[in-house]
């Protein structure tokens, strides 16, 4: 599951005897430096457990994996740990970044694809979660060749699935969905696009030729009644988010999800804006002159008071 907001609810099930009295314990998986396995970090709250078999994670803005188990009795009798389940975040500023070359979601069988990890760490491992095989037991070396921080794979040996980078210090990258297909593919953005940006979707055959007379679908609904070569969206919005696929001569591509993220409002620091030099001098000198005038008026008022005179004629003259 790839989330686009900041909260997610975890559920723990599968108890053979789901009677009352169970306590549920929740763990976050942490990559280890020594191997491709994970260590478990207990999620703490008011207590280390919950009575409900669900757990709300707030502030989910990065990729993470979770494990649960249950226990009851005194002393506690624990069940086995559940399998690790990952929540892949669409965070636009993750601790690490995963890029794909060619930069698209769908790829043809026997095509070479390069996945590259970047971030503050120097040692990365690339993991994937397939639709049928689950979490891969090892990193890139099991289905590709790791060179530095890049993994080159031949899609003939690699299944479709979600890919991400992780380090032994616990950093996770953004997640990228890779789909392997043998007929025609939809060329769509592999990363989320920003509201207001232009996007072009197209359909290609196994020889990488751009196909014409193509029908495009959004969430299984035909977008246009006319066939065309490309689908151009001049400024994407949240309503454009969803699954897309293309059809050509009766053949359909797989469908791929196009995520749309909101724009970020940038506020300008007015203090750093350039100002006219004469205006700047006035802003500095003006208050100083005002303070001097007030002091002079106070001194004059004290002087006239000691002489038994009044400031009224002077004030009338000042205002004329």
Residue 254 neighbours by CB distance under 10 Å:
17
In this predicted structure, what is the pLDDT of residue 90?
56
pLDDT at residue 174 is higher than 70: yes
CA 128 to chain centre: 18
187 vs 52, residue with greater confidence: 187
Mean pLDDT is highest, among 18-22, 57-61, 107-111, 145-149, for 107-111
pLDDT in tens, 217-276: 999 999 976 777 899 999 999 999 999 999 999 999 999 999 898 764 433 333 333 434
In this predicted structure, what is the pLDDT of residue 267?
35
In this predicted structure, what is the pLDDT of residue 168?
74
In this predicted structure, what is the pLDDT of residue 53?
87
pLDDT in tens, 103-155: 999 999 888 899 998 887 667 878 887 766 556 545 677 777 888 888 888 77
Least trusted range by pLDDT, from 89-93, 255-259, 299-303:
89-93
154 vs 54, residue with greater confidence: 54
Q: How confident is the model at residue 281 (pLDDT cuts 50, 70, 90)?
A: very low
Quick one: what percent of the chain has pLDDT higher than 90?
24
- Do residues 165 and 245 lie in contact, with contact meaning Cβ atoms separated by under 8 Å? no
| Mean pLDDT value of segment 3-29 | 78
Tell me: domain 2-89, CATH 3.40.50.300, correct? no
In this predicted structure, what is the pLDDT of residue 62?
67
In this predicted structure, what is the pLDDT of residue 266?
37
CA distance linking residue 105 with residue 98, whole number of Å: 13
pLDDT at residue 177 is higher than 70: yes
In this predicted structure, what is the pLDDT of residue 272?
33
Give the C-alpha distances (Å, rounded to integers) separating 107 from 153, 154, 186.
Answer: 11, 10, 9
Where in the sequence of the chain do the CATH 2.60.40.10 domains occur? 2-89, 93-182, 183-265
Quick one: what percent of the chain has pLDDT higher than 70?
72
- Do residues 217 and 198 lie in contact, with contact meaning Cβ atoms separated by under 8 Å? no
Mean pLDDT, rounded, of the chain: 77
Closest CA to 163 of 194, 210, 192, 130: 130
Q: Is the pTM of this model over 0.85?
A: no
Closest CA to 315 of 307, 304, 250: 304
CA distance linking residue 249 with residue 272, whole number of Å: 59
| Mean pLDDT value of segment 298-302 | 71
In this predicted structure, what is the pLDDT of residue 89?
61
Tell me: domain 183-265, CATH 3.40.50.2300, correct? no
In this predicted structure, what is the pLDDT of residue 268?
32
CA 197 to chain centre: 17
pLDDT at residue 205 is higher than 60: yes
In this predicted structure, what is the pLDDT of residue 48?
76
146 class by beta-carbon count within 10 Å (0-12 exposed, 13-18 middle, 19+ buried): middle
Which CATH superfamily hosts domain 93-182?
Answer: Immunoglobulins (2.60.40.10)
301: Cβ contacts below 8 Å, ≥ 6 apart: 311
In this predicted structure, what is the pLDDT of residue 251?
93
Closest CA to 152 of 179, 178, 113, 124: 113
């Amino acid at each position: 599951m790839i989330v686009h907001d900041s909260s997610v609810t975890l559920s723990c099930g599968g108890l053979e005897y789901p009677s009352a009295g169970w306590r549920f314990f929740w763990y976050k998986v942490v990559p280890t430096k020594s191997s491709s396995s994970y260590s478990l970090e207990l999620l703490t709250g008011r207590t280390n457990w919950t009575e409900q078999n669900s757990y709300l994670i707030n502030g989910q803005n990065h990729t993470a994996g979770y494990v649960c188990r249950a226990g009851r009795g005194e002393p506690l009798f624990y069940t086995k740990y559940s399998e690790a389940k990952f929540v892949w975040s669409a965070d636009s500023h993750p601790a690490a970044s995963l890029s794909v070359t060619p930069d698209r979601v769908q790829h043809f069988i026997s095509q070479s694809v390069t996945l590259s990890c970047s971030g503050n760490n120097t040692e990365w491992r690339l993991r994937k979660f397939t639709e049928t095989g689950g979490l891969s037991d090892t990193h890139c070396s099991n289905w590709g060749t790791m060179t530095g921080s890049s993994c080159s794979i031949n899609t003939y040996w690699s299944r479709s699935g979600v890919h991400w980078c992780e380090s032994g210090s616990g950093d996770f990258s953004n997640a990228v969905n890779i789909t392997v297909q043998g007929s025609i593919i939809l060329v769509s953005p592999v990363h989320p696009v920003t509201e207001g940006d232009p996007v072009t979707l197209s359909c290609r055959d196994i020889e990488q030729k751009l196909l014409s007379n193509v029908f495009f679908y959004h969430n299984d609904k035909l977008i246009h009644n006319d066939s065309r070569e490309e689908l151009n969206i001049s400024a994407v919005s949240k309503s454009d988010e969803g699954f897309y696929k293309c059809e050509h001569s009766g053949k359909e591509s797989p469908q791929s999800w196009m995520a749309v993220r909101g724009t970020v409002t940038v506020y300008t620091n007015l203090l750093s804006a350039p100002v006219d030099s004469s205006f700047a001098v006035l802003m500095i000198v003006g208050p100083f002159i005002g303070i001097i005038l007030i002091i002079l008026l106070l001194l004059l008022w004290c002087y006239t008071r000691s002489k038994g005179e009044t400031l009224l004629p002077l004030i009338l003259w000042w205002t004329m």
